[in-house]
Homo-oligomer: A and B are copies of this chain.
């Protein structure tokens, strides 16, 4: 049956494919490139993608994060360190694959009945920007492309993409 949940599952795959298209061509050295001076570089952005996809399970009420130690490093508003002060790119890429697998399972079991429900971390529904699980899903997909576009600047600088 074609449902909104199945559409979100397909859209999740398109998002992951697009993100992978920006991170797979980059070398460890290219990830060190600064994008917004003092605010982010490739390593921070990669870790930020991991934390964003990781906490999806908490917002959906489907379990804890896999990498709680990353939140202080890569969460929204975290202080930027030099690339060498973060876990190696290989570890972050592996973490990205693992959170994607976790979320694939969530999408495969998602039903349309859950979508209008308040997300699992809502405190004040009226004041909450995301409000429902549907809005969490949409915002998470858009958020990941927002930062993929920033990583895409490194891909373009390195001549590996026309973006």
A interface residues (Cβ-Cβ under 8 A, vs B): 2-4, 7, 10-11, 14-15, 18, 35-37, 39, 76-77, 112, 116, 134-135, 138-139, 141-143, 145-150, 152-153, 156-157, 162-163
Contacts and interface: CB of A to CB of B under 8 A. Distances in A.
Nearest to A132: B10
Contact of A149 (B37, B150, B157): B150
B4 A162 contact: no
A3 to B, nearest CB: 8
The 3 A-B pairs at the shortest CB distance, nearest first, are namely A149-B149, A146-B149, A145-B145
Nearest to A77: B162
Contacts of A35: 153
Most central of A2, A11, A14, A116 by chain B CB within 10 Å: A11
Given A10-B138, A146-B149, 4 more contacts: A2-B4, A3-B4, A4-B4, A146-B146
A36 B138 contact: no
Contacts of A148: 146, 149
B146 A14 contact: no
Contacts of A145: 142-143, 145-146, 149
